[in-house]
Chain A
Amino acid sequence: MAQVVAVIASTHHPFYYRASTATGADRPPFADEWVAKIEAFRETLTKARPDVLVMVGSDHFHQLWLDNMPQFLVGKAPFFDANFSNEEREFGLPRMTLAGQEDLSAHILRDGLDAGFDLAFSNELRIDHSITCPIITLRPEADLPIVPIYTNIFAPPLPRPQRFVQLGRTIRQLVESWPTDQRVAIIGTGHLSLELGGPRQFGAHGPDPEFDRKAVEWIAAGDIEGALSEVTLDSLHLPGNATHGFMDFLLMMGAAGDGAKADHVDSLDLFHTMEAYFTWYPNGAPA
């Protein structure tokens, strides 16, 4: 069976690409520290020597729209083109094309349906920065086949936090029951406290540093019970109006396992939102 060689949870900051490639007067003062942290984070994936990446993210009203909105969707295609014109325009993100791993997509869809998740699917999916940001930070060569999985953290009504945890646990089980000897990393990105298009946006820090501190503790300790005891669909409005993206972190905690302490934990306090990076090695840290 396939091995889950790493579980990785990260924020997806669309400004990283531009900040890390800027030079001279255009280079922001925090860029060097940010790049150093990302390079250390990248090494945690490189060391796990994955063959395939399961990539959990959330479409930002790019291809998925309110006339036909899935809660959870799995991409199944030989290739996924990536990034949209408004991401090029606002963040300077490059166009990309990533290979798909259709056997694993098919396995996750078939066995996921049988496990109680009515997963939607797409055979022609253009993926956005929720998935390309972690490719840029963690695997800039973009040389591994992926299975994209989208969650709805954006267009209410949303699934509840518990459901994200359950899906994470199920994805882990599904990957581990894939009959192959491939080495798989499960990577997902979300947000800590975040405000978009509201009065608390683009502050000197994230809109709710206290929430961020607690969130990092929950994730680092694998404290699913603690997180779920405080986090509800209603409560997530309080730290910032886009904080429902934290539910993708909950999904990744489900994938990492109850009580699983992260092997790598790092964060970076930036304007607008805090960055946070976590890696778990389910089979022990690689040499």
Chain B
Amino acid sequence: MSKYLLDKFLYTVDRDPELVERYREDPAGTVTWWEAEMANKLLNCTADERTTWLAFTEEERSALRTHDHVALFGLGAHPFLTLTLFIAMFERDHGPLEYQLAYAKAMEHISLPYPDIAT
């Protein structure tokens, strides 16, 4: 399990407007490309100084590929990162606050304590 890598995906996609659109339109392809090319890129280092060991589990890969924000929450992805990116991708298809409320409604079966988000 790599909560850190899930968070890194959400973080690096959210901050890049082109990647936000690419992930919205082609989630499976974007996740495959990102894991191969970006997952081991150290954000504050040159391209040669790559990390050698970061990879998703199949469960994590699947949650990202299916845009499953409930599963991401269950896996301990940082809820702020997931929410911010998913609002960017899907709020546009809904009326005011409709998407945010549907997002919460899909999680209404979840009770405290929530999954640990510590990385």
Interface residues of A (CB under 8 A from B): 60-62, 65-68, 84-86, 89-90, 154-157, 196-203, 237-238, 241-242, 271
Contacts and interface: CB of A to CB of B under 8 A. Distances in A.
A242 B15 contact: no
A67 B40 CA distance: 12
Interface size class of B (residues with CB under 8 A): 35 or more
Contacts of B43: 65, 67
A197 B79 contact: yes
Contacts of A156: 117-119
A85 B15 contact: yes
A89 B18 CA distance: 13
Contact of A90 (B87, B103, B113, B114): B87
A29 B69 CA distance: 31
A65 B81 CA distance: 12
B38 to A, nearest CB: 13
B8 A66 contact: yes
Interface in B1-59: 4, 7-8, 11, 14-15, 17, 42-44
Contacts of A242: 79-80
Contacts of B105: 199
A237 B115 CA distance: 11
6 contacts: A65-B43, A68-B44, A86-B84, A198-B104, A199-B105, A241-B114
A40 B81 CA distance: 34
B100 A201 contact: yes
Contacts of B118: 156-157
